[in-house]
């Protein structure tokens, strides 16, 4: 994963900046735990290492959300940052500095880097005619506009290309465009945009990405195949006002796009740390003696492996030594979903379970490849119980009590080479950590734990205890086992810092360095034994999943758009999540006549069929009463089984213009709510309604 370090080198490590629009969940934690383990390993090994992070705070999403919640962006991002930091601390993720991209330092750095990019001739200005939503008062990105394809007249196409005839065009070419933010008809408006001409750096980027030193091979291949074979498109790094972010000093009315200032936030956050610790920023970001390691998810590969190195190169900052890219988290092989309760927030987990469990479980699954990892709760419980409680912690609880009065032997006794074998294995464990192969490290550690338990069995301290003449031997055996336990605690310290602390307390000698694993501890007192870790309570796991399920509350006011009703003051406040409304703000007012144009009808699904070639579609035959039927394709395959659909009542748009699709003609649309994917909720009707009834 990365080259072996020369030990006088400094290491600067970053994890991706979490966006201030959402709370930390167990999917995010894969990355922060992965990074924290690596940082702790480096520090334990005696290397000078900084772990830097910050909240990513800018962008349209933050602006709209703050607007919806009736408060300032600053208030919103401050609150989210506090929540993020609390969650991270709860999982023992220890940053050296945690900042915000909305900082004075970041603004100053953006300005400096910007003017350097200008002087390097990398910035191009161009007028861009874009659609503008007069309702929301903002320009619309391509995918926020839908309309009819100018080529084939297919309706409902996104603003960049037609899914039907593959034509590419600009959103301003769409016939009858509609803003997906408000439903308003956008107007054309011209604005100046600023672009970074990344193509000028393609030669450098090809060499840098393909050198084999900075990226996993899978990632290098991906970039080669997808981007580096063709000229790179200029990167649009400005957004016209209104926008929550930094105003571009030499371009009035324009702001830096959030993805421009976010990675610069890595440097800005380091700078803040430097100011507090009286250090030079250039020693960290412009020095050959410092390695920079970014940990990110595969979703933001593009930015961190092309744009970011390109910018750094152009402005004279150090390039990353390595970009460590991990996959996504699935739960039971499925994407996390709120409906299934698998989108578990960090704070919810911490209410019910020990963070050490998740740290160990992730460690046992994480390798150096950018592969997805799967969380399976059965395996989670089994692994923690069996490995940590049954094997590791058990070593202490089998022996510590026998030496509470006497402490450890003065000299380390003969142990048949067990401790020495552990020292040898330590090098391989260290190598595995270094390479990001934590799964391998955990396997090696558990092999040692197995050997130690076997030793306990063979020496049977409980038998020695009964014979007064064998008390010295008993102390020796316990000295050996507790030293093997301590060795394991050193090896596990990057993953389980709490355990290593508890071990320090038990044996009255703190674990401070990896090298503590190389010398046995002798002659210390042994504290009264206390349980070091509890088994996983399966009921708590179930409770966590249950309480993470999003339950629709149909009768509560869903959003505070109108005046809050007076009774809300006396009843306990039901706070609904704001995300759905932010994701899709209210459409502009329409008249009753407008509404009457849409003919919504109750219909019964009489046949639900698989569309084998389609991943998301099912083919429904619905009855509108009598022998009037319609064929409708609906994108609900991931959310409903065919059996669940057949026979049930749905509400369809009965007078929608039929649409020819690859799989057949769709004669209407089934109404549903939700974000898509597995989060699709069909509209139902109370008992009594009949197929053919119109919805008024």
Of the candidate residues 443, 498, 518, 693, the single one contacting RNA (CB under 7 A): 443
Strand ranges of the sheet holding 48-55, from the earlier edge strand across to the other edge: 97-100, 48-55, 10-15, 290-297, 322-326
- 268 contacts 109 by C-beta, under 8 angstroms: yes
Regarding 340 and contact with RNA (CB under 7 A), the answer is no
Contact between 218 and RNA per CB under 7 A:
yes
Please report whether residue 534 would count as binding RNA according to CB under 7 A. Answer: yes
Residues 495-524 that bind RNA (CB under 7 A): none
Candidates 389, 421, 522, 642; binder of RNA (CB under 7 A) is 389
Find the binding residues for RNA in span 551-610 (CB under 7 A): none
- Residue 300 lies near RNA (rule: CB under 7 A): no
Q: How far is the CB of 221 from RNA (least distance, A)?
A: 5
Q: Give me the helices (H) in 573-664, please.
A: 579-583, 592-597, 642-645
Contacts of 447 (CB under 8 A, 6+ apart): 425
Q: Does 373 bind RNA (CB under 7 A)?
A: yes
Decide: is 615 part of the binding site for RNA (CB under 7 A): yes
- Out of 313, 635, 646, 689, name the contact with RNA by CB under 7 A: 635
Nearer residue to RNA within complex by CB, 251 or 534: 534
CB 425 within 8 A of CB 442: no
CA gap 448, 443 in Å, rounded? 9
Q: Is there binding between residue 456 and RNA (CB under 7 A)? A: yes
From 120, 374, 547, 576, residue interacting with RNA (rule: CB under 7 A): 374
Residue ranges in 654-673 that form contacts with RNA under rule CB under 7 A: 659, 661-663, 669-672
When binding is defined by CB under 7 A, the residue of 59, 310, 461, 585 that contacts RNA is 461
Q: Which is nearer to RNA, 539 or 615 (CB)?
A: 615
Distance (Å, rounded) from C-alpha 296 to C-alpha 285? 19
CB of 553 to RNA, least distance (A): 21
How many residues belong to the site for RNA (CB under 7 A)?
75
Footprint of RNA on 313-332 (CB under 7 A):
328, 330
CA–CA gap between residue 164 and residue 503 (Å, rounded): 64
The number of beta carbons lying within 10 Å of the beta carbon of residue 652 is: 26
Cβ proximity to RNA, 126 vs 450, nearer residue:
450
Sheet architecture: strand order including 138-139: 138-139, 123-133, 187-196, 235-236
Distance CA 77, CA 69 (A): 12
Inter-residue contact 452 to 387 (CB < 8 Å): no
Nearest alpha carbon to residue 353 among 385, 329, 327, 330: 385
Question: Should residue 230 be labelled a site residue for RNA when binding is judged by CB under 7 A?
Answer: no
Q: Are 122 and 237 in contact (CB under 8 A)?
A: no
Contact 370, 298 (CB under 8 A): yes
Residue 406 structure tokens:
């006497």
Query: Is residue 540 within the footprint of RNA (CB under 7 A)?
Result: no
Task: Provide the 8-state DSSP code for 694.
Answer: B
- Work out whether 633 is an interface residue with RNA (CB under 7 A): yes
Smallest CA-to-CA distance from 238 within 323, 401, 392, 114 is with 114
State the pairing for strand pair 679-682/123-133. unpaired
Figure out which of the listed residues 70, 212, 225, 405 binds RNA, where binding follows CB under 7 A: 225
Binding segment toward RNA, per CB under 7 A, in 197-205, 349-357, 532-540, 600-608: 532-540
Judged by CB under 7 A, the residue of 184, 439, 522, 689 near RNA is: 439
For RNA, which is the closer residue by CB, 428 or 549? 428
**Judged by CB under 7 A, does residue 68 bind RNA?**
no
Q: What is the dihedral of CA 637, 641, 643, 646, to 10 degrees?
A: -30
Applying CB under 7 A, does 365 fall inside the site for RNA? yes
Residues 122-181 touching RNA, rule: CB under 7 A, are 156-158, 163-164
Sole binder of RNA in the list 250, 334, 351, 546 (CB under 7 A): 334
Residue 195 makes contact with RNA by CB under 7 A: no
Q: Per CB under 7 A, which region of 279-287, 416-424, 439-447, 622-630 contacts RNA?
A: 439-447
Give the shortest CB-338-to-RNA separation in angstroms. Answer: 15
Regarding 351 and contact with RNA (CB under 7 A), the answer is: no
Task: Give 310 or 461: the residue with its C-beta nearer to RNA.
Answer: 461
Give phi and psi for 124, each to the nearest 5: -125, 140
Minimum Å gap between C-beta 267 and RNA is 29
Minimum CB separation of residue 129 from RNA in Å reads 23
Yes or no: say if 102 and 177 are a contact pair by the CB < 8 Å rule: no
């Amino acid at each position: 994963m990365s080259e072996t370090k020369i030990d006088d080198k400094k290491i600067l490590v970053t994890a991706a900046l979490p966006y201030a629009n959402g709370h930390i969940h167990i999917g995010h934690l894969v990355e922060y735990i992965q990074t924290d383990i690596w940082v702790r390993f480096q520090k334990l090994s005696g290397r000078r290492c900084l772990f830097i992070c910050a909240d990513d705070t800018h962008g349209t999403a933050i602006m709209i959300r703050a607007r919806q919640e009736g408060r300032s962006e600053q208030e919103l991002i401050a609150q989210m940052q506090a929540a993020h930091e609390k969650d991270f601390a709860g999982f023992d993720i220890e940053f050296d500095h945690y900042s915000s991209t909305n900082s004075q330092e970041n603004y100053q750095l953006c300005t400096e880097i910007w003017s350097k990019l200008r002087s390097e001739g990398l910035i191009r200005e161009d007028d861009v005619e874009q659609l503008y939503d007069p309702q929301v008062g903002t320009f619309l990105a391509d995918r926020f506009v839908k309309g009819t394809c100018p080529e084939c007249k297919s309706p409902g196409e996104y603003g960049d290309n037609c899914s039907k005839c593959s034509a590419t065009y600009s959103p301003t070419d769409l016939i009858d465009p509609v803003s997906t933010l408000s439903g308003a008809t956008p107007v054309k408006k011209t604005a100046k945009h600023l672009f970074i001409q990344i193509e000028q750096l393609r030669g450098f980027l090809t060499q840098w990405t393909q050198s084999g030193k900075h990226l996993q091979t899978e990632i290098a291949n991906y970039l080669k195949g997808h981007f580096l074979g063709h000229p790179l498109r200029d990167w649009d790094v400005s957004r016209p006002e209104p926008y929550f972010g930094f105003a571009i000093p030499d371009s009035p009315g324009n702001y830096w796009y959030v993805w421009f200032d976010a990675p610069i936030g890595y440097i800005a956050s380091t700078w803040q740390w430097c100011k507090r610790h009286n250090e030079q920023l250039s020693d960290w970001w412009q020095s050959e003696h410092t390695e920079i390691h970014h940990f990110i998810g595969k979703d933001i590969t593009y930015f961190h492996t092309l744009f970011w190195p390109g910018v750094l190169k152009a402005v004279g900052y150090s390039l990353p030594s390595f970009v460590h890219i991990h996959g996504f988290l699935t739960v039971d092989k499925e994407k996390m979903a709120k409906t299934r309760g698998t989108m578990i927030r960090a704070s919810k987990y911490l209410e019910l379970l020990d963070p050490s469990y998740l740290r160990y479980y992730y460690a046992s699954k994480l390798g150096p490849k950018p592969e997805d990892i799967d969380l399976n709760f059965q395996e989670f419980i089994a692994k923690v119980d069996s490995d940590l409680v049954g094997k590791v912690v058990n070593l202490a609880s089998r022996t510590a009590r026998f030496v509470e009065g006497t402490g450890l032997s003065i000299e380390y006794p003969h142990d048949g080479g067990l401790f020495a074998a552990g020292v040898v294995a330590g090098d391989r464990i260290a190598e595995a950590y270094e390479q990001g192969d934590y799964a391998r490290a955990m396997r090696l550690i558990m092999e040692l734990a197995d050997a130690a338990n076997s030793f306990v069995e063979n020496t049977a301290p409980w038998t020695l205890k009964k014979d007064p003449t064998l008390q010295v031997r008993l102390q020796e055996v316990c000295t050996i086992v507790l030293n093997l336990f301590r060795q394991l605690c050193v090896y596990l310290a990057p993953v389980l810092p709490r355990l290593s602390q508890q071990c320090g307390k038990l044996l009255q000698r703190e674990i401070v360095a990896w090298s503590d694993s190389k010398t046995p501890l002798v002659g210390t007192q042994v504290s009264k034994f206390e349980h070091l870790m509890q088994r996983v309570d399966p009921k708590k796991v179930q409770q966590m999943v249950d309480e993470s399920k999003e339950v629709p509350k149909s009768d509560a006011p869903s959003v505070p758009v109108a005046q809050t009703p007076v009774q809300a003051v006396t009843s306990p406040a039901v706070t609904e999540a704001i995300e759905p409304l932010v994701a899709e703000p209210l459409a502009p007012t329409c008249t009753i006549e407008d509404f009457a144009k849409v003919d919504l009808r109750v219909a019964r699904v009489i046949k639900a069929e698989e569309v084998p070639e389609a991943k998301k579609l099912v083919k429904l035959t619905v009855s509108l009463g009598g022998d009037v039927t319609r064929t409708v394709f609906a994108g609900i395959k991931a959310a409903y089984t065919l059996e669940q659909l057949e026979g049930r009542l749905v509400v369809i748009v009965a007078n929608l213009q039929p649409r020819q699709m690859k799989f057949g003609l769709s004669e209407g649309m089934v109404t549903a709510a939700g974000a898509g994917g597995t989060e699709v909720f069909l509209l139902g009707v109370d008992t009594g309604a009949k197929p053919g009834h119109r919805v008024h």
